[in-house]
Copies of this chain bind each other. A is one copy, B any other.
Amino acid sequence: MSMDAVFRALADPTRRQLLDSLHARNGQTLNALCEHMDMTRQAVTKHLAILEGANLVTTMRRGREKEHYLNPVPINEIAERWIGKFERHRLSALSDLKQRLEREEP
């Protein structure tokens, strides 16, 4: 569960759209997911493989179909372990920046 894989997976708008789609309706098959996308099935498959590699999506074969489930845990971990760090010092960093900018034109 490398954090880098999660960040890189989230970098592409198509993949974020896929996560959105699963967020709206969980457990969609590959074909169902493809219907909203303006690209070939194979391209969507590649994106889903990247999301799966980042552990953001879990799949399950049911007969000849493959169901896709959203796994929100990695997103949550990024929020807690990485974003939280910056959020904590948000106000101090901002005031620091403002002070410097005001010092610019005396």
Binding site for B on A (CB under 8 A): 4, 7-8, 10-11, 13, 16, 19, 23, 26-27, 58, 60, 67, 69-73, 75-76, 78-79, 82-83, 85-87, 89-90, 93-94, 96-97, 100-101, 104
Contacts and interface: CB of A to CB of B under 8 A. Distances in A.
- Copy total for this chain: 2
A101 to B, nearest CB: 7
Contact of A75 (B27, B86, B97): B86
Contact of A72 (B10, B76, B90): B90
Contacts of A26: 93, 96-97
Contact of A76 (B7, B23, B78, B87): B87
Contacts of A27: 96, 100
A90 B69 contact: no
Contacts of A85: 23
